[in-house]
Amino acid sequence: MNALPTPAAATADDVLVVDGLRKDYGGATVVDGLSFSIRRGTCYALLGPNGAGKTTTLRCCLGLTEPDGGGITLVGEPVPRHARRARIRVGVVPQMDNLDPDFTVTENLVVYGRYFGLADAEVLARVPGLLEFANLAHKKDARIGELSGGMKRRLTLARALVNDPDLIFMDEPTTGLDPQARHVIWERLKQLLARRKTILLTTHFMDEAERLATQLAVIDHGRKIAEGSPRDLIRAHIEPQVIEVYGDGALAWAERDGRQLADRLEVSGETAFCYAAEPARLLQSLERTAALRYLHRPANLEDVFLKLTGREMRDEA
Amino acid sequence: MSVVPAASGRTSRWALPQISARFVPVWRRNFLVWRKLFLERLLTNVIEPLLTIVAFGYGLGSLLPEVEGVSYLQFLASGAIAMSVIYSAKFESLWGAFSRMHVQKTWDAILHTPLAVDDLLLGEIFWAASKATFTALCILVMMWVLDIAREPTSLLVLPAAFFIALVFSAMALIVNAVARSYDLLSNYFTVVVMPLVFLSGVYFPLTQLPPWLREVAHWLPMTAAVDLVRPLALGRAPAHLARDVLLLACFGLFCYYVALVLTRRRLLK
């Protein structure tokens, strides 16, 4: 395992500081000495397979789950001791929508604002801006049942902003959305970052992490096994080029030629992944061999992730 | 900036409740839903007790002698107020609360805000009590219209109803905290709530019970509830006001604390 870079000392501009967080469930350690901090105006992503401890970490940071060890400071408040005070300036976009089905879009926002101690008049003043941001202005009096999945997600995002939070937690925000909807959400998140909002994101979508994260941590078995910007991680952990080979004879070719010509070879199912700094000889070999299909691309975060956490399926812990 | 270590252990689950006005937005939320469905709900609020009073009060009552100095119709109707208040509080804190907590995940959304479980449950309890008081009002109006009883003291039934409903809502929230499906709610209602209400003096005075059962019934919070409401509706003073209020208050506070601990355990894993 590569040595982790020494974490930068927490500064006053850190919106969230997690130090040695530990959480056990029934004898198993789900979060094991996790430490990270998030600078204002950045997006920090927690990337990890199922059961890695991402959601537990989020819940500890919010003061909803009590940790067994370690310290958390959220928007300057110690958590869980002053969790409620901290949550005044925090927004949460949960994994599953939990909008009020009996209310309209606007009512959902107003009712939620009340939980933060906001007067109705104040929330109603913010509603047009929130709906504009979520592209739901034309649906302001629609009932939740009339909204599509993407619209509900955008409303959940708008709702998380009703108290004008400093930090927004997002637990797998684009799971289950079609490509257009995902792009809209990403675009909105970038707008938030431009406004100096801070985001903590958990995801298992590599493209999402690569697009949005300023910094990310790869989590497995409750531990941070890599940390850095997406580009730094790719550069540090993986060969720059990848050729995916599939089709008839792919595996045979891989054993014969691929293994010798690539810097590193991995086989997953019916596909061979050839990692190389200089892919020229691999490409020549592939062109010579008929009936092979291949895809040549730069290495990405998914490659880093699979190298660090393995290719086996993870069932929910 | 120093990082303050988190407290370890499960101590916060057992922490005493923090009472504050933070519960008000939860009440308002439930009120807004109720307002939208008002007309439908009004019908059930009125029809259900009306049926009881008509079938048993008029129908059966015409065959029965006086009970405790009043006609059976008056005896039953005044007891039915307490019964409806208890049932209404239970319905709201069983089916209503479970739907919000488990099906809609509304409680999860609320717990992401500065509210705690303490505020959530208090909001639910005060809401259930508000709804139950409205039910009591409907029955009082009905009793007035049908000339069953027109006592000015019956106005005091309303604060009594509110207080009683707080207690039974808290009791129901214990069951809600441990329910995995609607089945437990139904079973609890049928096996626990209804029999206890039958034993509490709504349909017949406790003197009709065998002595050993009468002894048990004396200690039921349901009985205390009936003993508070019936006299007020019939223009009398409750026989043992302080005792009944104290019994209900202690039981209610106990139930709220237990519901709080169990709900915390469920939602704050």
| HEC-encoded secondary structure of A107-136 | HHHHHHHHHCCCCHHHHHHHHHHHHHHCCC
Last-in-domain residue among A234, A253, A281? A234
- Do both A65 and A185 map to the same domain? yes
Helices of type H across A134-249: 149-160, 179-194, 206-212, 230-237
Handedness of CA B48, B49, B51, B56 (dihedral sign): positive
Mean predicted confidence (pLDDT) in A37-46: 95
B176 in Cβ contact with B185 (< 8 Å): yes
What is the least distance, in Å, from the CA of B83 to any CA of chain A?
29
DSSP A95: S
Residue B150 lies in a domain: yes
Residue A283 lies in a domain: yes
Last-in-domain residue among A199, A234, A269? A234
Write the residue in A67, A88, A98 that is nearest to B105 by C-beta: A98
Residue A2 lies in a domain: no
- Do both A210 and A258 map to the same domain? no
Reply yes or no on whether the pLDDT at A228 is more than 80.
yes
Of residues B86 and A247, which shows the higher confidence score? B86
Torsion of CA A279, A283, A285, A286, to 10 degrees: 130
- What is residue A2's predicted lDDT score, i.e. its pLDDT? 43
B146 in Cβ contact with B76 (< 8 Å): no
Residue B26 lies in a domain: no
| Structure tokens, B95 | 């089916």
Domain of A242, in residue numbers: 238-309
Q: Percentage of residues in chain A with pLDDT exceeding 70?
A: 94
- Do both A251 and A206 map to the same domain? no
- Which chain A residue has the Cα nearest residue B33? A102
- Which chain B residue has the Cα nearest residue A100? B106
pLDDT tens profile B18-32: 999 999 999 999 999
- Do both A224 and A244 map to the same domain? no
Q: Which candidate, B26, B10, B17, places its Cα nearest to that of B260? A: B17
**At a CB cut-off of 8 Å and minimum separation 6, what does B177 contact?**
B259, B262, B263, B265, B266
Write the residue in A68, A73, A107 that is nearest to B1 by C-beta: A73
- Do both A79 and A159 map to the same domain? yes
Measured between alpha carbons, how far is B160 from B154 in angstroms, rounded to an integer? 10
Measured between alpha carbons, how far is A224 from B128 in angstroms, rounded to an integer? 47
Is residue B36 less than 8 Å (CB to CB) from chain A?
yes
Torsion of CA A309, A21, A16, B20, to 10 degrees: 130
Domain of B210, in residue numbers: 40-267
- What is residue B135's predicted lDDT score, i.e. its pLDDT? 92
Q: Which candidate, A224, A94, A275, places its Cα nearest to that of A168? A: A94
List the strands of the sheet with A28-39, edge to edge. Answer: A28-39, A14-25, A69-74, A77-79
- What is residue B4's predicted lDDT score, i.e. its pLDDT? 45
List the strands of the sheet with A293-298, edge to edge. Answer: A264-268, A271-276, A241-246, A293-298
Reply yes or no on whether the pLDDT at A180 is more than 80.
yes
- What is residue A288's predicted lDDT score, i.e. its pLDDT? 85
Beta carbons within 10 angstroms of residue B134's beta carbon: 18
Between helix B221-233 and helix B157-178 the angle, nearest 10°, is: 160
Helix (H) or strand (E) holding B158: helix B157-178
| Total domains, chain A | 2
pLDDT tens profile A275-284: 999 889 888 8
- Do both A39 and A175 map to the same domain? yes
Residue A177 lies in a domain: yes
Mean predicted confidence (pLDDT) in B209-231: 95
Write the residue in A10, A79, A88 that is nearest to B6 by C-beta: A79
Of residues B182 and A1, which shows the higher confidence score? B182
Write the residue in B24, B116, B267 that is nearest to A84 by C-beta: B116
- Which chain A residue has the Cα nearest residue B100? A100
Beta bridge partners of A226: A218
Last-in-domain residue among A207, A234, A261? A234
Q: Which residue's entry shows tokens 């130090």? A: A19
pLDDT classification of A290: cutoffs 50, 70, 90: confident
Contact A114 B36 (CB under 8 A): no
The string of DSSP codes covering B228-240 is: HHHHHHTT---TT
Contact B112 A94 (CB under 8 A): yes
Mean predicted confidence (pLDDT) in B157-186: 97
Residue B33 lies in a domain: no
| Total domains, chain B | 1
Mean predicted confidence (pLDDT) in B95-110: 96
- Which chain A residue has the Cα nearest residue B35? A102
| Average model confidence (pLDDT) across chain A | 90
- The answer for B 110-129 residues in CB contact with A (under 8 A) is 110-116
Phi, psi of A75 (to 5 degrees): 40, 45
- Do both A41 and A180 map to the same domain? yes
- What is residue B104's predicted lDDT score, i.e. its pLDDT? 95
Q: CA-CA distances (angstroms) from residue A146 to A139, A151, A152, B109?
A: 9, 9, 9, 20
Beta strands in chain A (DSSP E): 14-25, 28-39, 43-47, 69-74, 77-79, 90-93, 167-171, 198-203, 215-220, 223-228, 241-246, 264-268, 271-276, 293-298
Reply yes or no on whether the pLDDT at B103 is more than 60.
yes
- The answer for B 133-192 residues in CB contact with A (under 8 A) is none
- Do both A223 and A249 map to the same domain? no
Peptide bond before B221: cis, by omega within 30 degrees of 0? no
Chain A residues with CB under 8 Å of B7 CB are 66, 80-81
Residue A293 lies in a domain: yes
Give A203-229 as a 3 state SS string. Answer: ECCHHHHHHHCCEEEEEECCEEEEEEC
Reply yes or no on whether the pLDDT at B15 is more than 60.
yes
**At a CB cut-off of 8 Å and minimum separation 6, what does B223 contact?**
B199, B200, B201, B206, B217
pLDDT tens profile A83-132: 999 999 999 999 999 999 999 999 999 999 999 999 999 999 999 999 99
| Structure tokens, A39 | 């600078």
- Do both A158 and A284 map to the same domain? no
Phi, psi of B4 (to 5 degrees): -80, 125
pLDDT classification of A11: cutoffs 50, 70, 90: low
A218 in Cβ contact with A224 (< 8 Å): yes
| A128-159 burial: b if 16+ Cβ within 10 Å, else e | eebbebbebeebeeeebeebeebbbbbbbbbb
Measured between alpha carbons, how far is B182 from A26 in angstroms, rounded to an integer? 28
Residue B240 lies in a domain: yes
Chain B residues with CB under 8 Å of A70 CB are 5-6
- Which chain A residue has the Cα nearest residue B22? A115
DSSP B210: -
- What is residue B56's predicted lDDT score, i.e. its pLDDT? 84
Write the residue in A12, A19, A94 that is nearest to B3 by C-beta: A19
Q: Percentage of residues in chain A with pLDDT exceeding 90?
A: 65
Residue A315 lies in a domain: no
- What is residue A65's predicted lDDT score, i.e. its pLDDT? 92
- What is residue B8's predicted lDDT score, i.e. its pLDDT? 42
- What is residue A12's predicted lDDT score, i.e. its pLDDT? 67
| Structure tokens, B85 | 């208040």
| Average model confidence (pLDDT) across chain B | 91
Q: How many CA atoms lie within 13 A of A205 on its CB side?
A: 18
Residue A7 lies in a domain: no
Reply yes or no on whether the pLDDT at A4 is more than 50.
no
Residue A1 lies in a domain: no
- Do both A274 and A167 map to the same domain? no
The CATH number covering residue A281 comes to 3.30.70
- Do both A30 and A94 map to the same domain? yes
- Do both A176 and A38 map to the same domain? yes
Mean predicted confidence (pLDDT) in A173-196: 92
Residue A32 lies in a domain: yes
- What is residue B120's predicted lDDT score, i.e. its pLDDT? 97
Phi, psi of B226 (to 5 degrees): -60, -40
Q: Which residue's entry shows tokens 């043992």? A: B240
